[in-house]
Amino acid sequence: MYDRGDGPGAAATRLTGRKATGERRLSGALSEVTLDDGREVMVKRADSAEEARAEAAGLRWLAEAGAVRVPTGHGQDGPWLVTDLIARGRPSREAALELGRALAGLHRAGAPAFGSAPPGGPREAFIGRAPMRNVEGAEWPRWYAEHRVLPYLRRAVDDGTITLSEAEVIERLCSRLPALAGPAEPPARLHGDLWNGNVLWGADGHAWLIDPAAHGGHRESDLAMLQLFGCPHLDEVLRGYESVAPLADGRPDRVGLHQMFPLLVHAVLFGRGYAEQALSTAKAALER
């Protein structure tokens, strides 16, 4: 007989109201749990209750936009988060085109300010395993420098991953952001951690988004992260996006600006290789 103990099965039972009849551990944090009505759900154990609360609030906020597909949430209990399981398929150009249109709709749903947290989400949030503070600001260049780039640069310097002399390059880029950022745009509703691993290509032929670090930000940031870490059929994603919400002229020249945040987060989490990529990206942006 299946013994659900005090792990993923117990969390699934509490949050769905259905008895768990089996589970399959996918990693230290993720499990697929089968319920007594035959459904399967995904159970995630975060590092803390606040991390799980931030993710749950982000998923709700994305879903409320009515644009992108996200797994239905069954609730959050302490560090546990339970959502529907998305059956995996293969990426296609049609799904990528649809994803681009959906992202445009998500971004147009907007946010109260740059740095706004999702309703019910904590100010002290997370991007992956790194802390991310949701502090609101009115102007994107200043907000982005102060609350997205510089905190991770300081931590990378403190950790010895980036030297003080190297940090000056990124600090110089931050000082020039007002001139480099392009036309002012209203705050967009961002997924916030949109690398390809957080895009699930479903067996139903659609793209689904998971694991958000949702906040109010610049819409080009989500697109730049997709480009940074690779996304199947990215050209179709961008084509779909522009068919709904054309991007301001010069976007290709601004990609590096928007990649500084995820690159520095990865430098803090994973070390020198990403620090070197951040530095080369900053130098290239300064030369444009």
Q: Where are the domains of the chain?
A: 8-84, 93-286
For 271, the 3-state DSSP assignment is coil
Distance CA 255, CA 224 (A): 5
Task: Work out the number of other CB atoms within 10 angstroms of the CB of residue 138.
Answer: 10
The CA–CA distances, whole Å, from 278 to 58, 138, 173, 184 equal 27, 26, 11, 24
CATH number belonging to domain 8-84: 3.30.200.20
Could you tell me the pTM of the whole model? 0.94
11, 17 in Cβ contact below 8 A?
Answer: no
* pLDDT at position 67: 98
According to the model, what pLDDT value does residue 241 have? 98
**Cα–Cα dist 136/96, whole Å:** 32
Q: In the prediction, which pLDDT does 6 show?
A: 73
| Superfamily classification of domain 93-286 | Aminoglycoside phosphotransferase (APH), C-terminal lobe (3.90.1200.10)
Sequential pLDDT tens for the chain (288 residues): 334 457 999 999 999 999 999 999 999 899 999 999 999 999 999 999 999 999 999 999 999 999 999 999 999 999 999 999 999 999 999 999 999 999 999 999 999 999 999 999 999 999 988 999 999 999 999 999 999 999 999 999 999 999 999 999 999 999 999 999 999 999 999 999 999 999 999 999 999 999 999 999 999 999 999 999 889 999 999 999 999 999 999 999 999 999 999 999 999 999 999 999 999 999 999 997
Which pair of structure tokens corresponds to residue 232?
């199947």
Catalytic residue IDs: 193
